[in-house]
A and B are shown apart, each in its own frame.
Chain A
Amino acid sequence: MGVVSVWARAAAWSSLVVGAWLCLAAVPVLADGGPHVAIFNNGSMGLNADSCAGCHRFHSASTAGGYLLGNNQSVSGGTLFADTSDFCLTCHGATGSGATTDVATGVQYAVTSPGSPKTAGAILGALRSGGFIQARIGSGAAYRIRATYDTYRALDFVTKVPVALSPSPVTSAHLAVSGSPVSAQDIAWGNGYASFGSTLTNGMECTTCHNPHGNGQYRILNPLPAAAGLVAANTPVNVYDAPLPTSGDTRNYTVIQTAGTTGNWSSFLLLASQVQKGGYASSSGDYWHRFVPWSSYNGALDAPNGVATNLVVGGVKKADSFDKQMTAWCTTCHTRYMNIDGPAVDEGDPVFTYQHLTTGNMACTTCHVAHGSNAVMNTDPSKGTTYSANQLFPGQTSIPSAQVGNSRLLKMDGRGTCLGCHDPTGMVTQGQAQGTRPSPYLP
């Protein structure tokens, strides 16, 4: 008994020391020079890599999964992390230090001094991917204006989804993390073979999508996501990243913050130089971006997704490479969501028979966020309807009660996602606007 106590005390002290290292050694001073960046982990730095010890314990690890991850020292006496994802939240959660990106509540903080918690820094903005527990998507305050008017097609809206002033619990999330308020997670809808609605139930972790050791990809995305139960695509998809920011800068992962010049492609894009510095108001920005940053504007970086590459319109190369890559990457798991044929083409799949296009700027990330959304799907307040809250997921025949209100990672309440681009009535006139105009305003 006494021996056990001695060993237990020794282990506890050891754990505290390790925990202190975790909190201090992983402070956000590294920022984008942090442990995940490929150049620090790719072997070219020699055999003296320092970053391994940030997460792994050669002898004292006991977290399940075989990754030799450290214990959760934020809990007295140290405990196992529930899974790898919870370990990631040690740095990327809502508290503590170690990373400026808080994927739990969907914000990014400014860099703080070593040892200071991330929350000591100003909120830089809302993460473009939302959050796993809370998000700041202004999903109910969308704005749209009919910029042009085509008699027969209603795809000519400029739409904005602002950042909310305060966070709200998510109504859908890609991943079940501790504290998540929603269910129907960890399911890869549209994965696998025809006739099936989904695969991969409760088998997903942060590392399903992200490579914590760095791989040079955009947001260290795995070119071929892998998880238990997942029927992965055959072809890896690279999503190329922009050049790393200069030393000392923090890459900004928040929603688009600045307006460009109307009519110029930069109106809808942020170049890397525009987003490295941050310093924008935390409640500004736009979640509804049909065109996205980090596009290399280089056809060579088009994704190998089978979509025609090097799109040139009027002699000008369109900046859609990133969208294509991103859509292609999403569909390495959601394999049957990829649709390049048009919505009126029978895909020959009993479940996914007809689909919205996912080409060009109609990318997955146009309508959906990656981590979690707080969009409300329960009612149309003016009508009291609950259509969007009671939707079957693909392949379902009944709706589990826990699924009611699931927002499916959409960015707008109800089916504002549809109306962001469409006017099925043909009655919205050119120049007519709806909603409160956000700032910045484009155009």
Chain B
Amino acid sequence: MDRKGHRTAGLPGGLLVATIAAGLAMGLMPVVPSSVVAEIPSASPTDSAAPSAGLVPSASPSPSPSALATAQPSAADSASPSPAPTDTASASPAPTSSASPGLPPATVTVKQTSSAPAAGSHRVDPGSLLSINLTVSVVGDLTGGTLSDTIPAGWTVTDAGGGTADVTSSTVRWVVGSLSSGGSTSRTLVVRAPGVPFSDGTFSANASFASSFDQAGAVTTGPVVSVMVAPVLVIDHWSFAPIPAPGAAPQYLAEDAALLDEPRYADVRVRFFVTNLDTTTATIVPQLGYESSSGTSIVPAHASATDPFRVSTEWIQIANGGTVLGPTLLAIPASSLDSDKVTFVDGIRAMGIDPAPAFSVAAGARTAIEFTVRATVAASYLSTTSFSLSDAGAPIAGAVRAPLTMAAAPPIALSPGQRLGQDGIDVLLRYALIAPSTIPQYPLQPSALSGVAMTPFLATGTNVHDSFTSGSSDACAACHAGHSSQGSSLTVSAGPQYGLCSRCHATPGSTSPADIIPDYSSAPVNDPTTRSYYSHDPTAGTEFHQNAMGEVILSPDQRHAECADCHQPHVASDASGPVQTSGGWTVSSRLMGAMAAQPTNPTDPTRTPTYSLVPATPGTPEYALCFKCHAGIAALLPDPTGSPTPYSWYELDKGVEFNPNNRSFHPVEAAGSNTSAAMASSLAGTSPYKLWDLSTNSTVRCSQCHADSSKVPQSAGDPTSGTNVPTQDASLPTHASANRGILLLPYRDRTTGSAGDTYAASTVALCLACHAEAPLIDTTGASADTAFSFHGLHVSGAARGYGSGSTSIDVPGGGQGLATCAECHFRLHSSSFAVPGQSLGGWTSGGLDQGGGPGLVNFAPDVQPVTPGGTIVWVRKTATTRGSCTLVCHGVVHDPAAGSFSPTY
């Protein structure tokens, strides 16, 4: 059969008959016991004279299609009414050859029936068993005879019913003893139909069983039982159609072309062409399966964490230019299946359901059945599987399988210095990154609905968000409407997720702590081109990070923040705050339920942690929520401007940075490694911006540095200074800040001071939230709040005017005046990712110094080696040895070997 279902030609129809006759004539009638399974061997199309039609053991090769075709009508014939398999008795003719002399032969009637369906073409499944019953009735006494039934090529005798299977003549014979006039006797033969596809690729064949009775040479020809061997539907071709983007037109590949390079999360249609060869309507329940380790698995509508595929609902274009989810079932017009519109009838396309509803194909019709599927996060890259169509799970014989190969993991575009993220559960999506300039930016505006007068149903102290595990709730109605909703999640408001949240949390003029308008009111607009971010902008979209199926997507093309990324609206509450532990601060109940990336740290800090995505529960570290987007489990933003990217713009892997196995680090995941008295004194000391008195055993929250600037005094002269200072476990929202980097307090890290500058605590206010100011303003080196007595000399007492003139911290040789913290503590989160070319007494890997010295010492790009191309060297002071710097800073050479500035301490 060709791809349109047209039957290919067979050999001349009389070939098998002629072959059998030849075998009989030559007396080549070897017999096999009836218990031996026998099969009709192939007839070689090139050796028609050989006695090839006969019964052989079942291990014999498969029948050739030509041999089968010769025994059966052509494909065109199959549409014609064929003899019914039952009640095909024929009257016994007069003896046709010499009978035994003396006694007249009895009049014999042979009746033959089969278990094949009476309707249509009497179709039987390939490989199925067929029972044939033969009955001999006599008028006049019968002295005996032989009942015969011919077996078509390719059929296997599984039970000869007491008869003898003759391999050569492809005949089963039964010896019938004497019968009195009016008597009858029956024999039952069980045969197995050949399987499909046949060796010529066809999926159906007709077969005839001819009965006869030999009474001492007088042969009575009995009826012929004809059946068709074919599946309920012939499924002979497939076609894939990837859908490039939601709502885009599918791109159909050539028929029978394997699908390669299929990415995760992309929809693709898989179409099967089916033909009903019978003369009656065939009905199946189309079910899509895929080849798995356990055989064939159903493609589910809702994938579990281990299901590599699920059936998918397609997005369709709507009039206003948007897309919406389409229906679950559509008809495929016949006109789209074949240009001649002759052989095809309408098919069906199932989207999001498996199985599809029962589907009927008219007699002789050809059509298509297709499903839309999507590879999930569990689909392994480069793996190959195949899809198949079944009838409600029951395999369809001979059905083709459509092969699909997953694409390779897409590469990540790394920022300079960024390490490739790793994960333990194969959820990292290594898609190519898009240019940040294409990320839409929206001015933060109160929701259009926020002005709608709402019944004040929120009583003081109540919470709408945490009632959903109790089994009863009043609160669903606050956000959802079952029938008259305006949002696709049955939410009462349309548009971005923020629009719904803002109904309660963005009320103009509100002073509620739960109102986020004040958080954003002083934040400048984000500027991706300079990596200047002041807010987690929640207005940029909706449902991007967690699709309709709940799959967490961390693809960079969806890099933005929305409310539900940090606040699971059905779980969050105001019930409990964060708790400090030796392993960092735990999430508050406000963040409970949101997905978090829990790291497992390698001992070697030059390696990348592995991550597990888990919903935040009590005890989940708060930083794990930040890691979901700011660590290697997510694809971080690439270089926004091309090369070279200023070092101070790098977006680095926070999981690497806060690994407690680093030589030094800020104590986010664990207490710090510096437990010296000087550090304890620094933490206990005072400053104009002091917020918290910590100890060397303390851990800190990300939000103690990155949080809403309106929550704390922003200048030393602020009248609220010293009052309204939040405790460490207070709500420190990271929504937005007036300070770049969503910093809680000002911190100068991209520029250095100019020649005329004087010390200003405001430039390092962030540091002073925890650390004492004394070391910075004491130029005598007498402060006990530091282990480095020259802090004051550098920050407030150094000579100025030696630099090149640039005040950019990223320009080599820049800096004119006083040093700033960031010039010696450039990477502030930890000692990792130091600017190359520095020897800091830290970790080495592969023979290279990886930076990462103690005391968070690592120098900014404006600091240069003494010798161009050389190495910046810092040697830490110990109890027995002096420390030193060998470098050029602000135009001042620090070279112990040369004695300049006596730079040892």
- Which of A's residues lie within 8 Å of B, judged by CB? 140, 142-144, 150-153, 189-190, 197, 308, 310-315, 337, 340-346, 351-356, 367, 377, 379-380, 382-391, 394-395, 398-399, 412-419, 423-428, 434-435
Contact = CB atoms under 8 A, between A and B. Distances in A.
A345 B324 contact: yes
Contacts of B358: 310, 312
B643 interface: no
B444 interface: no
Contacts of B459: 383-386
Query: Which 9 pairs show the lowest CB-CB distances between chains A and B?
Result: A434-B471, A415-B476, A152-B550, A380-B474, A414-B474, A424-B570, A394-B484, A388-B477, A387-B478
Given A353-B485, A423-B469, A315 B392 contact: yes
Contacts of A417: 482
12 contacts: A152-B304, A342-B313, A342-B352, A343-B488, A344-B325, A380-B475, A382-B470, A385-B459, A385-B474, A414-B475, A417-B482, A426-B593
Contact of A151 (B455, B550, B570, B617): B550
B427 to A, nearest CB: 13
B468 interface: yes
Contacts of A389: 457, 474
Contacts of A343: 485, 488-490
B488 A344 contact: yes
A399 B455 contact: yes
A150 B306 CA distance: 11
Interface string B303-338: 111000000010000100010111111000000000
Nearest to A420: B471
Contact of A434 (B313, B393, B457, B470): B470
A414 B464 CA distance: 12
B489 A337 contact: no
A143 B470 CA distance: 10
A173 to B, nearest CB: 18
Interface residues of B, number: 66
B304 A311 contact: no
B737 interface: no
A353 B491 CA distance: 10
Given A343-B490, A425-B570, A354 B485 contact: yes
Contact of A415 (B328, B352, B355, B473): B473
Contact of B486 (A354, A377, A399, A419): A354
Interface in B373-422: 391-394
A225 B394 CA distance: 44
Interface in B318-370: 318, 322, 324-329, 352, 355, 357-358
A383 B468 contact: no
Contact of B474 (A150, A337, A351, A379): A379
Contact of A383 (B328, B475, B490): B475
B294 interface: no
Contacts of B698: none
Interface in B469-510: 469-478, 480-490, 494
A416 B470 CA distance: 9
A214 B481 CA distance: 37
Contacts of B303: 152
Nearest to A190: B483
A22 B195 CA distance: 75
A150 B471 contact: no
B549 A152 contact: yes
Contacts of A423: 468-469
Contacts of A152: 302-304, 549-551
A153 B489 CA distance: 13
Contacts of B570: 424-425
Nearest to B549: A152
B568 interface: yes
Contacts of A345: 324-327, 488
B467 A380 contact: yes
Contacts of A426: 550, 593, 615
B472 A385 contact: no
Interface of B: 285, 302-305, 313, 318, 322, 324-329, 352, 355, 357-358, 391-394, 453, 455, 457-459, 461-464, 467-478, 480-490, 494, 548-551, 568-571, 593, 615, 617
B483 A355 contact: yes
B472 A384 contact: no
Nearest to A412: B472
A412 B490 CA distance: 19
Nearest to B325: A344
B564 to A, nearest CB: 11
Contacts of B458: 385
B631 to A, nearest CB: 22
A334 to B, nearest CB: 8
Contacts of B455: 390, 399
Given A356-B490, A388-B477, A414-B472, A337 B324 contact: no
Nearest to A334: B483
A386 B483 contact: no
A138 to B, nearest CB: 12
Contacts of B485: 343, 353-355
A21 to B, nearest CB: 46
Nearest to B475: A387
Contacts of B461: 384
Contacts of B475: 380, 383, 385, 387, 414-415
Nearest to A354: B485
Given A341-B325, A390-B455, A424-B570, 16 more contacts: A151-B305, A153-B549, A312-B285, A312-B358, A342-B328, A342-B352, A343-B489, A352-B484, A354-B486, A356-B490, A384-B461, A387-B464, A412-B472, A414-B473, A418-B473, A425-B468
A398 B452 CA distance: 10
A343 B482 CA distance: 9
Contacts of A395: 484
Contacts of B487: 353-354
B304 A308 contact: no
A412 B477 CA distance: 13
A312 B195 CA distance: 28
Nearest to A299: B358
A313 B355 contact: yes
Contacts of A140: 472
A355 B482 contact: yes
Given A152-B549, A313-B355, A343-B489, A391 B476 contact: no
A435 B488 CA distance: 30
Q: Which of B328, B472, B569, B615 has the most CB of A within 10 A?
A: B472
B483 A150 contact: no
Given A152-B550, A412-B472, A426-B593, A352 B467 contact: no
Contacts of A314: 285, 355, 392-393
A92 B548 CA distance: 47
A415 B488 contact: no
A346 B328 CA distance: 15
A174 to B, nearest CB: 16
B357 A153 contact: no
Contacts of A346: 318, 322, 324, 488
Contacts of A197: 484
Given A312-B392, A315-B394, A382 B467 contact: yes
Given A152-B302, A418-B480, A344 B324 contact: yes
Nearest to A399: B455
